[in-house]
């Protein structure tokens, strides 16, 4: 509901006042920053002048250290102040374009005066009167704006619940310091502004949503009670947005102890990482760590093997002719990500505790120093009930002692004497240093020679010592490969149902591993085995872990992640209708995930409203699914999706060019041609590149290009475009049920326009969509 003229004038007057105050504060900060800069320069320049360095005795040295510490403390305090003011200035520079977006008038129970609470991306206090002109959207009082309606309301604070009466709720659209529109609203967050926001064109960078967070989203953003928050949300329901605003909220709520480096976001790929990287800085927060599971795994498994990534695995599955090798691989992918395989790995571990460990010889210049058999004997000589990882530590210590003794035995060998002659001057100086200080010593040459010989031997042994320290004497890859010696499973006391295709699974896995390639489905089990043997690497300082696009991870992967971050609360967000990885097509993953956590540890949420796409696109895409939960579109209208059937490739490419030109003429800028595989995208790119400015995106790209892009479905995850063209929605490409989720994921990337092209007969999946939900052209 628009407001009366006098009210609007009052609002405009207030806005001018706030802007004036902000400008004043910014000018003050500018002055302070320049003075601080000057002061720091002077301090740095005079740092050593003000410190008297005197190391003549212990007392003087202590005084010197105290004086340096004092100077350094003053300087770091100055730097901290400067950093705080700089960030404050940057936040105000952002706010001055749009100082606030909401207001609630609130009278607390027992009070007689109503307070006007204006809400913006950060708080702003008028300097002279110390009144709050704007409240931070994350402050407890601001939650009323997202959750309450005029009438009786309450909100939670650390001190307890505050109750009262909300007299008014108002939304503002302020652009470049000008009041564009203002609405009073009786609903939770009025639709008018949301509609305006959602009608925008997409961008290569995601935007924050703090002005229009919906009630169901706000609950998730602010839920900090349980250890695990699990969100199942429809495509475009705001999962990524919720994840990012939640991070901003947590950083604010726990600002006294939580730093941005203690929050970790797992993202599906580097393009997505860059796509979302602007949201936190836009909200005045520093960016948190983002990583992909692949990055983590590569870091842990090292460079000795080639680790296949999820995209290569998918590309293999999508482009391989159907046949026995594809079928074996698909069986393998399914089994290796299942809870059954997880149990099999544990059974294997129990077996390894009794027998079967594989070690490497420790060699020095091709000469075996300690043979693998000797290591194995030692390993199994320890108590069998000592954990694998602990026994490995004991072996490690034993090996280091053994190497020490072996080194001792070499000291007086001739080769050592020869190499002593080639040592550096510095080594000689260090060896003779003790005798230079004290009285002359008749043994000084003998002592120095011993030092020098030890040095030579130590250097020789160092690579072997390093190998032992890094536990390289355990052949983890060999041990993993051994599990695929086909008959071995019969020797494990396992209750797991071994699949019929086990023989084929073993054969293809061995083939890959012998070539030192770890297929993607084996990466997590191998990592798990390594951790069981070497001990789990735990990141104790990480306090919050957020996993976006969680449907891409197997329960096995989530279990490994859970063990990695024992101190962290987890937020897992996914849409299991977009589960496009090969391991997911056969399992009800969501239930498997909840079963990973204990009862009471997990809070589940569902988001069913889709904000990204027009009603027409949502209604079309939801009919592509068979078992979808209700998905409600936000009522934003647009044209119906267009389906085109084309007879030849040339005709298709011609049509594509024309459509792209038309869509661009309508004012849409970000257009995506989405193919099924990279191979297919490459082919379309070759045909289009001489006619249309277009960018082909691959898994190695780090940024989302603007304009027309061609990319496979799996790279389009989590991202959105003004218009999407599904390249070749034919029976061949999307012929059966396994392709349903891939098609759904691709189509739901579209905000305003959706086109589906079929070369020949269209996909049979179209037959289940009501014909009134699209047009044939
Ligand atoms: N409350 C909101 N106010 C304004 N825009 C919103 C809101 N919630 C979501 N959006 C917009 O909807 C679009 C989809 O949001 P987002 O990408 O977070 O959804 P998602 O659930 O992660 O989608 P998907 O799983 O399909 O990738 C984005 O443009 C986002 O800005």
Under the banding of pLDDT at 50, 70 and 90, the label for residue 222 is very high
Least confident of 321-335, 532-546, 638-652, 696-710: 321-335
Least confident of 52-56, 245-249, 514-518, 761-765: 52-56
Q: What is the pLDDT of residues 677-697, one digit of tens each?
A: 999 999 999 999 988 899 999
Distance CA 185, CA 1 (A): 6
Under the banding of pLDDT at 50, 70 and 90, the label for residue 11 is very high
Tell the residue nearest (CA) to atom 3 of ligand 1.
Answer: 212
39: CA distance to ligand 1 center in Å?
A: 46
pLDDT of residue 556: 80
Tell the residue nearest (CA) to atom 8 of ligand 1.
Answer: 238
67 has pLDDT over 50: yes
629: CA distance to ligand 1 center in Å?
A: 18
Atom from ligand 1 closest to the CA of residue 548? 22
Atom from ligand 1 closest to the CA of residue 243? 18
234: CA distance to ligand 1 center in Å?
A: 10
pLDDT of residue 277: 92
> Smallest Cα–Cα separation from 523: which of 346, 295, 289, 269?
295
Q: What is the pLDDT of residues 31-41, one digit of tens each?
A: 999 988 888 88
Contacts of 594 (CB under 8 A, 6+ apart): 230, 602, 604
What percent of the chain has a predicted confidence (pLDDT) above 70? 95
213 has pLDDT over 80: yes
CB 184 within 8 A of CB 169: yes
Residue with tokens 């199994």: 380
588 has pLDDT over 60: no
Distance CA 227, CA 574 (A): 17
Q: What is the pLDDT of residues 240-289, one digit of tens each?
A: 999 999 999 999 999 999 999 999 999 988 899 999 999 999 898 988 98
434 has pLDDT over 80: no
Residue with tokens 């991202």: 719
Tell the residue nearest (CA) to atom 25 of ligand 1.
Answer: 235
According to DSSP, residue 200 is labeled: S
pLDDT of residue 553: 87
> Smallest Cα–Cα separation from 301: which of 527, 509, 99?
527
- Residues in a beta bridge with 483: none
Mean per-residue pLDDT, 393-411: 92
According to DSSP, residue 387 is labeled: -
214: CA distance to ligand 1 center in Å?
A: 11
Please indicate if the annotation marks 503 as binding a ligand: no
Contacts of 367 (CB under 8 A, 6+ apart): none
587 has pLDDT over 60: no
Pick the more confident residue, 705 or 72.
705
**Predicted-complex ipTM score:** 0.99
122: CA distance to ligand 1 center in Å?
A: 22
Q: How far apart, in Å, are the Cα atoms of 243 and each of 223, 257, 579, 718?
A: 12, 20, 19, 12
Under the banding of pLDDT at 50, 70 and 90, the label for residue 50 is low
Residue 357: is it exposed, middle or buried by C-beta count within 10 angstroms (0-12/13-18/19+)?
buried
Q: What is the pLDDT of residues 698-726, one digit of tens each?
A: 999 988 888 999 999 989 989 999 999 99
383 has pLDDT over 50: yes
Please indicate if the annotation marks 234 as binding a ligand: yes
Mean per-residue pLDDT, 414-428: 83
217 has pLDDT over 90: yes
423 has pLDDT over 90: no
Atom from ligand 1 closest to the CA of residue 207? 31
719: CA distance to ligand 1 center in Å?
A: 9
Atom from ligand 1 closest to the CA of residue 242? 18
- What dihedral do alpha carbons 346, 347, 353, 357 form, nearest 10°? -90
Distance CA 625, CA 639 (A): 21
Distance CA 528, CA 738 (A): 29
CB atoms within 10 A of CB 48: 11
Tell the residue nearest (CA) to atom 14 of ligand 1.
Answer: 236
Q: What share of the chain is helix, strand, coil (3-state, %, to 5)?
A: 50, 15, 35
629 has pLDDT over 80: no
pLDDT of residue 69: 76
777 has pLDDT over 60: yes
Please indicate if the annotation marks 238 as binding a ligand: yes
Tell the residue nearest (CA) to atom 27 of ligand 1.
Answer: 718
744: CA distance to ligand 1 center in Å?
A: 16
User: According to DSSP H, which parts of 483-519 are helical?
Assistant: 488-491, 502-514
Pocket test for ligand 1, best of 171, 571, 611, 613 (most atoms within 8 A of CB): 611
CB 729 within 8 A of CB 758: yes
Residue 158: is it exposed, middle or buried by C-beta count within 10 angstroms (0-12/13-18/19+)?
exposed
> Smallest Cα–Cα separation from 202: which of 763, 705, 739, 677?
705
Least confident of 104-108, 161-165, 314-318: 314-318
Note the pTM of the prediction, 2 decimals: 0.86
Q: Which residues line ligand 1 (CB under 6 A)?
A: 194, 197-198, 207, 209, 212-214, 217, 233, 235-241, 575, 611-612, 718, 720, 748
Please indicate if the annotation marks 310 as binding a ligand: no
Pocket test for ligand 1, best of 209, 273, 747, 750 (most atoms within 8 A of CB): 209
pLDDT of residue 110: 92
211: CA distance to ligand 1 center in Å?
A: 13
Sign of the dihedral through C-alpha 62, 66, 69, 71: negative
615: CA distance to ligand 1 center in Å?
A: 14
Please indicate if the annotation marks 235 as binding a ligand: yes
Distance CA 293, CA 553 (A): 9
Average pLDDT, the chain: 89
Pick the more confident residue, 476 or 419.
476
pLDDT of residue 603: 94
Q: What is the pLDDT of residues 315-347, one digit of tens each?
A: 888 887 776 678 899 999 989 988 788 889 989
586 has pLDDT over 50: no
Ramachandran bin of 366, using left for φ above 0, alpha for ψ from -120 to 50, beta for the remaining angles:
left
Under the banding of pLDDT at 50, 70 and 90, the label for residue 370 is very high
Under the banding of pLDDT at 50, 70 and 90, the label for residue 188 is low
Atom from ligand 1 closest to the CA of residue 574? 25
Pocket test for ligand 1, best of 238, 240, 605 (most atoms within 8 A of CB): 238
According to DSSP, residue 577 is labeled: G
CB 551 within 8 A of CB 584: yes
pLDDT of residue 58: 67
Q: What are phi and psi of 163, to 5 degrees?
A: -110, 160
Under the banding of pLDDT at 50, 70 and 90, the label for residue 424 is confident
Please indicate if the annotation marks 239 as binding a ligand: yes
User: According to DSSP H, which parts of 586-700 are helical?
Assistant: 589-594, 615-622, 649-665, 678-688
- Residues in a beta bridge with 545: 264, 570
Pocket test for ligand 1, best of 612, 615, 622, 714 (most atoms within 8 A of CB): 612
Mean per-residue pLDDT, 177-204: 79
Q: How far apart, in Å, are the Cα atoms of 316 and each of 325, 432, 622, 679, 743?
A: 11, 64, 28, 10, 18
Tell the residue nearest (CA) to atom 16 of ligand 1.
Answer: 238
């Amino acid at each position: 509901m628009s407001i009366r003229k006098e009210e609007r004038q009052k609002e405009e007057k207030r806005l001018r006042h706030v802007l004036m105050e902000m400008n004043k504060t910014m000018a003050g900060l500018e002055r302070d920053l320049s003075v601080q800069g000057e002061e720091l320069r002077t301090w740095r320049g005079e740092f050593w002048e003000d410190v008297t360095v005197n190391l003549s005795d212990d007392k003087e040295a202590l005084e010197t250290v105290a004086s340096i510490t004092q100077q350094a403390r003053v300087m770091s305090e100055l730097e901290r102040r400067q950093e705080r003011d700089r960030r404050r200035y940057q936040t105000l520079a952002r706010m001055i374009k749009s100082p606030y977006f909401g207001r609630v008038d609130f009278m607390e129970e027992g009070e007689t005066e109503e307070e006007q609470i204006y809400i913006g991306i950060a708080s702003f206090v008028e300097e002279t009167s110390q009144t709050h002109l704007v409240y931070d959207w994350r402050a407890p009082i601001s939650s009323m704006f997202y959750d309450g309606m005029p009438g009786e309301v309450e909100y939670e604070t650390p001190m307890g619940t505050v109750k009262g009466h909300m007299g008014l709720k108002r939304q503002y659209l302020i652009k470049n310091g000008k009041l564009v529109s203002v609405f009073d609203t009786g609903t939770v967050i009025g639709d008018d502004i949301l509609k305006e926001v959602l009608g925008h064109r997409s961008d290569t960078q995601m935007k924050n949503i703090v002005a229009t967070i919906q009630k169901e989203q706000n609950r998730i953003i602010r839920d900090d009670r349980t250890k695990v928050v699990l969100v199942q949300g429809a495509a475009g329901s705001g999962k990524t947005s919720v994840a990012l605003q939640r991070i901003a909220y947590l950083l604010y709520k726990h600002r006294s102890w939580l730093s941005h480096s203690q929050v970790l976001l797992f993202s599906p790929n580097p393009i997505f990482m860059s796509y979302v990287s602007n949201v936190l800085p836009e909200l005045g927060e520093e960016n948190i760590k983002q990583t992909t599971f692949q990055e983590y795994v590569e870091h842990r498994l090292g460079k000795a093997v080639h680790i296949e990534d999820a995209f290569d695995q998918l590309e293999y599955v999508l482009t391989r002719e159907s046949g026995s090798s594809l079928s074996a691989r698909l069986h393998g992918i399914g089994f290796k990500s299942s809870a059954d395989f997880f149990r099999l790995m544990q059974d294997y571990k129990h077996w390894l505790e009794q027998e079967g460990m594989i070690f490497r010889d420790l060699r020095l210049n091709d000469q075996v120093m300690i043979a693998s058999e000797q290591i194995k004997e030692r390993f199994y000589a320890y108590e069998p009930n000592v954990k694998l990882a602990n026994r490995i530590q004991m072996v490690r210590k034993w090996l280091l002692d053994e190497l020490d003794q072996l080194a001792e035995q070499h000291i007086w060998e001739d080769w050592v004497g020869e190499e002593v002659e080639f040592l550096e001057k510095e080594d000689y100086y260090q060896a003779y240093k003790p005798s230079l200080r004290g009285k002359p010593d008749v043994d000084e040459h003998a002592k120095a020679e011993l030092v020098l010989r030890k040095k030579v031997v130590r250097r020789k042994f160092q690579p072997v010592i390093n190998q032992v320290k890094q536990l390289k004497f355990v052949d983890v890859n060999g041990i993993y490969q051994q599990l695929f010696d086909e008959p071995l499973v019969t020797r494990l006391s396992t209750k797991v149902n071994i699949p019929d295709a086990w023989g084929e699974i073993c054969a293809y896995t061995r083939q890959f591993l012998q070539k030192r390639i770890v297929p993607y489905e084996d990466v997590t089990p191998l990592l798990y085995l390594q951790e069981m043997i070497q001990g789990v690497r735990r990141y104790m300082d990480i306090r919050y872990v957020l996993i976006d696009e969680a449907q891409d991870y197997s329960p096995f992967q989530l279990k490994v992640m859970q063990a990695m971050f024992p101190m962290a609360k987890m937020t897992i967000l996914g849409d299991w209708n977009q589960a496009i990885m090969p391991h997911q097509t056969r399992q009800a993953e969501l239930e498997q995930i909840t079963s990973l956590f204990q009862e009471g540890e997990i809070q589940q949420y569902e988001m069913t409203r889709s904000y990204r796409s027009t009603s027409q696109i949502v209604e079309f895409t939801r009919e592509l699914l068979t078992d979808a939960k209700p998905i409600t579109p936000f009522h934003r209208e647009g044209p119906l999706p267009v389906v085109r059937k084309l007879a030849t490739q040339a005709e298709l490419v011609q049509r594509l060019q024309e459509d792209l030109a038309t869509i661009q003429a309508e004012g849409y800028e970000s257009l995506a041609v989405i193919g099924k595989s990279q191979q297919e995208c490459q082919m379309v790119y070759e045909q289009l590149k001489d006619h249309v400015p277009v960018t082909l995106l691959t898994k190695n790209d780090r940024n989302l290009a603007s304009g027309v892009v061609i990319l496979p479905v799996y790279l389009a995850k989590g991202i959105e475009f003004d218009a999407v063209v599904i390249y070749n929605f034919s029976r061949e490409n999307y012929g059966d049920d396994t392709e349903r989720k891939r098609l759904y994921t691709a189509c739901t990337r579209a905000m305003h326009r959706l086109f589906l092209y079929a070369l020949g007969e269209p996909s049979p999946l179209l037959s289940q969509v009501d014909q009134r939900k699209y047009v044939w052209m």
